Amino acid sequence: MAGTTRGTLPKGFRSAELGWPELHRIPRPPHRVPLAGDVVGVNLRTPLQDSLRVGRQLGPIFRRKGFGKEIVFVWGAKLSGELADESRFAKHVGLGVANLRPVAGDGLFTAYNHEPNWQLAHDVLAPGFSREAMESYHAMMLEVTGRLTDRWDGDQAAGRAVDVPGDMTKLTLETIARTGFGHDFGSFERTRPHPFVTAMVGALTYAQRLNVVPVPLAPVLMRSATRRNDADVAYLNRTVDDVVEARINGPAGEGDLLDRMLDTAHPETGERLTPENIRRQVITFLIAGHETTSGALSFALHYLAQHPDIAARARAEVDRVWGDTPLPAYEQVARLRYVRRVLDESLRLWPTAPAYAREAKEDTVLGGVHPMRRGAWALVLIPLLHRDPEVWGADAEGFDPDRFEPGAVRARPAHTFKPFGTGARACIGRQFALHEATLVLGLLLRRYELRPDPAYRLRVAERLTLMPEGLTLHLDRRSSAAPARPEVPAVSETSSASRCPVTGAGD
């Protein structure tokens, strides 16, 4: 493609006609409007859900155009499986992910493939995801969940419904900040979200809006939004700089993720992360990690409340596996196999990082039909991939954790369940996320019966990630629930050994 060298793939947004020589063979919506494109029926607040609707109508590969930007979308299992081939395709940084680069730069999630800091950071931080390191996170997760249940006990006693997304966000932010960086945001002592959360949501929403606003009009239409985003980014940077400075000037850490960033050299090259890159990595982990895991927990609690039979089965497993042990041990969490299936099924229907982009390493043909030039890319819509009836059956819209029984998993084709992305750039903290979420669900099921609002209908908010909107639940304490606040083994307030805060950033 013009303007690139053979050794470097082109960066940034590239409209599909530059990379797909036979674009006309890919279906698109009818009633395309000159200049504006496929804007009929578009809701700027829910672009992903609009694309899901269009994809159901047009099939496993389709295209949409808006104000000069044309995008190829893929969701069919066969084509998605082909895009997962690491010998032919790689991660593409585009759309909302590229829009986050002003704040996250070349962090693990937003780095271009050719940028050296991605591999350097990955290699330096990878030891933080060993089993030994994972086990060290467990006590802090228990302690933070205890702060959540203290709050929920008070709400339950007062007859108040709980704000599920808000409280899950507090939970996951505190878990990440304390395990990875020895920092306490004090989220559960606040009546309103921490300013870091407000700034984070603002930055994600701004990045989402940039996808759907015409580039020539953005300076006019988004002038005030741009000013707010600049303030949000400045606040995120200041917060992280303060956390890093406190570690440098304060007591020595105990080997957590921030210590690794500050003190560890690459095992082969001896290179170290620069101060600027450390800031970018910390912001990446705080944003990508807690936002996605809080969404996964929120969707899971919604489905458990809507399906009391499934909740009863999951609760019975918790009671059987954990018994009357006040605090489950690390190894007991993995034994909650049905609870894990509930989580997987929630991630199937609403993967909170809902898409990933893949670009061709060389000229190729997708599905034997669609030529792609080197650098051409497609966006994989995970919620539709996870609903492909050829893989998941005619009832793919239904909630059924038994889809993840071992035999059913083995019978499915590879690359059909992708809530954490795919390939070398998939989520580095997947096991952290799954352990944390399974533990939290087990503790909440053990303690409460969940009662939904009968009038509530699931609404999905989009800010690059997905979250149930307006979800509240009423709680009933179980008579056999564990003690109000069992004593958790002491955990350092500064940090804890080898803890990692990445919890599900997607590809």
By annotation, the residues acting in catalysis are 292, 420, 427
φ/ψ (deg, to 5) at 413: -65, 155
Pairing of strands 448-452, 472-477: antiparallel
- Residue where the block lists tokens 């990955």: 122
DSSP state for residue 74 in the 8-state scheme = E
Per DSSP, the three-state class of 284 is helix
DSSP state for residue 288 in the 8-state scheme = I
Provide the phi-psi class of 41: left if phi over 0, else alpha when psi is between -120 and 50, else beta: left
Per DSSP, the three-state class of 462 is strand
Question: 308-322 and 337-349 are packed helices; what angle lies between their axes, rounded to 10 degrees?
Answer: 140
Provide the phi-psi class of 406: left if phi over 0, else alpha when psi is between -120 and 50, else beta: alpha
One-letter amino acid at 401 equals P
The order of strands in the sheet holding 448-452 is 162-163, 472-477, 448-452
- DSSP secondary structure of 200-215: HHHHHHHHHHHTTS-G
- Residue where the block lists tokens 């104000």: 67
Give the contacts of 126 (CB within 8 A, at least 6 positions apart).
428
Give the contacts of 198 (CB within 8 A, at least 6 positions apart).
232
* Nearest Cα residue to 97 out of 19, 173, 14, 12: 12
- Write out the H or E segment, with its range, that includes residue 157: helix 131-157
Question: What would the two tokens of residue 493 be?
Answer: 């307030």
CA dist., res. 81 & res. 416, Å (int): 7
CA dist., res. 213 & res. 217, Å (int): 7
490, 142 contact by CB (below 8 A): no
Please count the other Cβ atoms lying within 10 Å of the Cβ belonging to residue 195.
Answer: 14
**In terms of C-beta density within 10 A (0-12 exposed, 13-18 middle, 19 or more buried), how is residue 484 classed?**
exposed
Give residue 20's Cα distance to chain centre.
Answer: 29
